[in-house]
Structure 1
Amino acid sequence: MDPDARPAHRRLRPMRGLDVLHRALYEIDLPGPAGPVRYTVEVDTDRDWTAVLYADGVLQTEADLPARLPVPGGVIEADHGMYGVSRMHFTAGDGRERRLAPVRGTLEDLRGRFAHRHPRASRAIGWAAVAVLLVNLALAAPQALELATEIPRVAERFGTFESPVDLPWWLNTSLYAAGAAAATERVLTFRRNRIVDFETIWTEA
């Protein structure tokens, strides 16, 4: 984005109403020359996948994700997946990392407070998300392989493969919706596993 196109002294807009559905805000306090400075990173999915950095509510810079945003003492590293922010960490000059905290009122903050108030229910939701993703993975893998072998070059080299899984459209749709919900739950709680979350290619198709 052209820096000259940014409004001068643009300030961070407070969370309002349905903003929770498309805005993610994370914050961290870092030392400044006159005292602590609160740095906030905004990612708004209604716009392009861009990380916008504010210092005490005033715009500093912005960059396309994945982004490295320079701040005193290190950088803020931000990245995303299809279902939301997947990384939001401050990395100090010595390599130590600290995750930024969700701003109060965001969906990530609401999910965290629910986990604090209802730990058992939160764990049950987390395990349910894992189960959904693993089931989808088992069903998606053979279908993905069949699609891959339909590519002429792949078929010529490796042959074709017919998936033993042939699901009706309504079940495919249900699995898509359940997989999307489970993947979103994993993103909101900053959980990531190479095997479990590999399933998201099914719901991104």
Structure 2
Amino acid sequence: MDVRQWKTDENGYVKVFLYRNGLQYAVSRAPAVFPVEGGAIEVAASNFGLKRCHFVSDSGVERQMHPDVHSAEGRRARLDERRPQLSRLIGVVSIVALLVGVGLLLQQIAVPILRIPPIAEQVGPVEPLINLPLWLSISLGLVAALASTERALRMRYRWWLDAAGN
């Protein structure tokens, strides 16, 4: 399987490539189902990574597919296998970074809305809870981008954390 977020068709759908013995066998847009011997391969993508990449046998048994060891996802999976504590720490840091980023984003959206005259008359004057210097805002944005990349490489979709990528 090869799912590249930047390879879209003319309508903006993510393309999914199925390879067999090193040769391209089929192409579809996500979500995709490829019939194969003994079952089917199901692939679904979000805006930031894979939601699902499973082999489903004819009897209904599902098994998550493993990434290529040379891909970024494969290297992240290998870190998880070889250094599980470090992997967990990186995962926790990325979740915290994303939650902080979401909180700051909500503030940046709410304050201007609450300053609209008809709304401001009802709720009174509103000031941001946190005023960050520009360098820190930019740094936190970069950290949130790295954290979202880490989430995508884990190949584990959680609706409550990754739902923005539907």
Q: Give the aligned length.
A: 153
- Tell whether 2:64 aligns with 1:64: no
Partners of 1:75 and 1:164 in 2: CA distance:
51
State, as a whole percentage, how many aligned pairs show the same letter. Answer: 32
Q: Which residue of 1 aligns with 2:128?
A: 164
Q: CA 1:134 to 1:45, structure 2 compared with 1: closer, same or farther past 3 Å?
A: closer
Matched, 1:87 2:52: yes
Q: Quote the Cα distance in structure 1 between the aligned partners of 2:105 and 2:69.
A: 37
Q: Of Structure 1 and Structure 2, which has the larger fraction of its residues in helix?
A: 2
Deviates more, 1:138-147 or 1:73-82: 138-147
Confirm or deny: 8 A CA contact 2:55 2:62 kept in the other structure: yes
Question: Is the CA contact (8 Å cut-off) linking 2:52 and 2:157 kept in structure 1?
Answer: no
For residues 102 and 138 of structure 1, do their structure 2 counterparts lie closer, same or farther at Cα, with a shift above 3 Å needed?
Answer: same
Q: 1:177 & 1:65 partners in 2: Cα distance?
A: 28
Correspondence for 1:111: 76
Of 17, 23, 46 in structure 2, the residue corresponding to residue 52 of structure 1 is: 17
1:74-106 per-residue CA deviation (whole Å, 9 max, x = no partner) reads 321112233333321112233321111111211
Distance 1:93 1:144 in 2: 48
The one of 39, 42, 48 equivalent to 2:2 is 42
Counterparts of 2:110 and 2:39, CA distance in 1: 43
- Correspondence 1:194 to 2:159: yes
The gaps in structure 1 that reach 5 residues or longer are 1-40
Contact 1:132/1:178 (<8 A) preserved:
yes
Higher relative contact order (CA 8 A, sep 6+): 2
Are the aligned partners of 1:133 and 1:197 in contact in 2 as well (CA < 8 Å)? no
1:74 to 33, 39, 46: 39
| AA partner of residue 44 (structure 1) | R
The 8 Å contact of residues 40 and 56 in structure 2, kept in 1 or not, is answered as yes
**Deviating more after overlay: 100-109 vs 189-198:** 189-198
- Matching residue's letter, 1:164: P
Opposite residue 128 of structure 2, the aligned amino acid is: P
Residue ranges of structure 2 left out of the alignment (5+ in a row): 9-13
For the Cα contact (< 8 Å) 1:102–1:109, is it kept in 2? Answer: yes
- Superposed CA RMSD in Å reads 2.9
* More divergent stretch after superposition (162-171 vs 176-185): 162-171
